Structure 1
Amino acid sequence: MKLYRFITGPDDSAFCHRVTAALNAGWDLHGAPSLTFDAAKGIVVCGQAVTKDVSGESYSPEIKLSDF
């Protein structure tokens, strides 16, 4: 089964640490990162898709993706 996550957050070191943690947990980058500007908050928001192949699992919407 292939899992997909889209990690988002302000453009700061915490976002980079979340993506790094996902990579070290076996997730792979999927595509380029994205950036947008939230004018209401005055911040840049980042996004990065990650995927992971897992065996022995059946997909269910109740799966907590961050547990993988």
Structure 2
Amino acid sequence: MNIAEGKGDSNAQFNRFLNIAKNSAKECVVCSTIAFRQGYIKKSKDLDNRQQLAELLKMIAGLQRFLKEG
């Protein structure tokens, strides 16, 4: 959601929203861990969540590099 909110702004402002999105993704990793530890999800789902979030973080970082270079 943060990415969509910041898209219409300047690159600097958009980068700020991308940083917020990265922090939100990191929070989701913690939430997944807590859900696993509390027994709400299986270990395999926690690992899948972590893998998908790691990929998302890489994509956001790549977009930030692109904006910085452009």
Q: Same fold (TM over 0.5)?
A: no
User: Which structure dedicates a bigger proportion of its chain to strand?
Assistant: 1
User: Which structure dedicates a bigger proportion of its chain to helix?
Assistant: 2
Greater relative CO, 1 or 2 (CA 8 Å, sep 6+): 1
Asked which structure has the greater CA Rg, the reply is: 2
TM-score under structure 1 length normalisation: 0.29
TM-score under structure 2 length normalisation: 0.28
